[in-house]
């Protein structure tokens, strides 16, 4: 096989053309919350949940990971990623909330892959996965959900309705042994996973699914 460059040079050439991954601000020892979703559209409860987690757990920053698409949801009619990032940044509007399309940059589709990447590339940061109680109810359907729980501590923020009973679901029961008292919230980022906490106090009924449905009705 003919090759114009020695293999090391060819490899370097490929590296030059690979898109550069831009991570939000981070530093060794920093406590960073990870909050993923399609954010279509983002709403006040997203922001409130993150601010609650930031205060209770003592997070330095929260990263909103705007995903190209949710494998568990119908993505038909999903707004373009770039548009969702812009709207999410406008709504977040907080000096310690960073909105990023990291998953598109690194080519991951599942949360486990994304979290694995971050733990590998920022080994001295203390990440915490933040999710609403409604997501805990379906957590057992996520790819390698037990693996996620073994990678980073998890903070579950309560919601109105049946999601309040999420801790009695499949994942909540399976991970019950790793649940820590709410009074110990500040210790969560430094705990060895699996470790998770249920944070009470947010009672917003808002959901992106409901807002999308309302938007679809309005458009028609």
Closest-CA residue to 154 (of 176, 122, 124): 176
Q: How many other C-beta atoms lie within 10 A of the C-beta of residue 216?
A: 10
Task: Indicate the pLDDT class of residue 50, thresholds 50, 70 and 90.
Answer: very high
- Cβ atoms 180, 199 nearer than 8 A: no
Which SS3 state, helix, strand or coil, does residue 64 take? strand
Residue 181, phi then psi, degrees to nearest 5 = -65, 145
More confident: 159 or 74: 159
CA separation for the pair 134, 164 (Å, rounded): 8
More confident: 74 or 141: 141
As a whole number of Å, the end-to-end CA separation of the chain is 59
Averaged pLDDT score across all residues of the chain: 84
Strands 97-100 and 126-132: unpaired
Most confident of 2-6, 131-135, 171-175, 208-212: 171-175
Residue 124, phi then psi, degrees to nearest 5 = -100, 0
Task: Indicate the pLDDT class of residue 84, thresholds 50, 70 and 90.
Answer: very high
**pLDDT above 60 (res 111):** yes
Percent of the chain with pLDDT over 70: 77
pLDDT score at 20: 86
CA distances from 61 to 42, 55, 158, 208 (A): 18, 10, 20, 23
Four-residue CA torsion sign, 123, 86, 46, 183 = positive
């Amino acid at each position: 096989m003919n090759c114009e460059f020695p293999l090391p040079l060819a490899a370097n050439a490929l590296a030059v053309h690979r898109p550069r991954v831009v991570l939000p601000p981070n530093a060794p020892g920093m406590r960073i919350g990870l909050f993923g979703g399609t954010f279509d559209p983002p709403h006040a409860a997203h922001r409130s949940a993150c601010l609650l987690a930031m205060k209770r757990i003592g997070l330095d920053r929260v990263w909103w990971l705007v995903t190209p698409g949710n494998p568990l949801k119908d993505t038909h009619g999903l707004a373009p990623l770039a548009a969702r990032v812009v709207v999410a940044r406008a709504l977040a509007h907080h000096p310690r909330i960073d909105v990023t399309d990291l998953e598109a940059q690194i080519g991951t589709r599942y949360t486990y892959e994304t979290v694995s990447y971050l733990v590998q590339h920022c080994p001295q940061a203390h990440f915490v996965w933040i999710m609403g109680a409604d997501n805990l109810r379906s957590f057992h359907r996520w790819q390698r959900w037990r693996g996620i729980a073994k990678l980073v501590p998890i903070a579950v923020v309560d919601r109105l309705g049946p999601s309040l009973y999420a801790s009695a679901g499949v994942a909540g029961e399976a991970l019950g042994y790793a649940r820590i008292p709410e009074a110990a919230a500040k210790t969560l980022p430094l705990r060895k996973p699996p470790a998770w906490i249920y944070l009470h106090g947010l009672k917003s009924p808002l959901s992106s699914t409901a807002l999308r449905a309302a938007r679809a009705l309005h458009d028609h």
